[in-house]
Structure 1
Amino acid sequence: MGVFVYDRDFEAEIEDRTLAHLQVVIIDKLRRNERFPFVLDDGKRERVMWMSPETSLQFVYHGNRHPVLNRAWLELLAESAGSTRGLAVIPEPPMTAPAET
């Protein structure tokens, strides 16, 4: 399990694979100076955090191997980040094989 740290005062344990995908989507949006809500639901309560380039974030991984990223999952996560509800962890879809040429 990795840890997502928001604004130095909130930490959430998130599986490394999921955290890696969230990191790509969050960093991509923040690099474009976009602001958006990030929703974390642990089954007991829902926390909504406002993501902006000014917010201090950390992505801390338990393992040291980088997972192969699932492009379809990245696209779904990015789509949710652009919605009015905001970025939320959604189930990973099956990875599609790269197109052969």
Structure 2
Amino acid sequence: MGTLYYGSATEPIHLEERALAHLKVVIATKLRRQESFTLSWKHLEDEPGGRSTIWLHPSIPLRFTFDEPETPVLNQQWIEALMHSANSSGGIMLVDEVCDTSTD
């Protein structure tokens, strides 16, 4: 399980670790460009139902923590899908991993 600590919020945000590793790349890219945007996700099964959205801004402290010490192999297609949503007016909507289903 990965955890996102955002601003002065007392409750950490728990996300699946692989998803958080991919989000970290997209979020860091956007914030490095001084771009603000929203991040939305569906709550985990062990949390009350629903979804949440936060406003990400370069001036707000942000920390990612991971249970696994090794960085997973990243899926470039998933990063691109997340970046595409980050650049939309709706912000990042955490979607399931995108896999290449073509057969070469």
- Indicate the residue corresponding to 1:99 in structure 2: none
* Aligned residues with identical type, % of pairs: 36
In the alignment of these two chains, the number of paired residues is 96
- Secondary structure (helix, strand or coil) at the match of 1:64 reads coil
Cα separation, 2, equivalents of 1:59 and 1:46? 20
Alpha-carbon shift at residue 18 of structure 1 (Å): 0.7
What SS does the aligned partner of 1:60 have?
strand
Aligned counterparts of 1:5 and 1:40: Cα–Cα separation in 2:
15
Residue matched to 1:64: 69
Q: Which amino acid aligns with 1:91?
A: D
Q: Distance in 1 between matches of 2:41 and 2:12?
A: 11
Q: 1:50 to 1:95 in 2, by over 3 A?
A: same
TM-score of the superposition, structure 1-length normalised? 0.87
Ranges in structure 1 where 5+ consecutive residues have no aligned partner: 97-101
TM-score, normalisation: structure 2: 0.85
Deviation at 1:46, TM superposition (A): 2.2
Query: What is aligned with 1:22?
Result: 23
Match of 2:35 in 1: 34
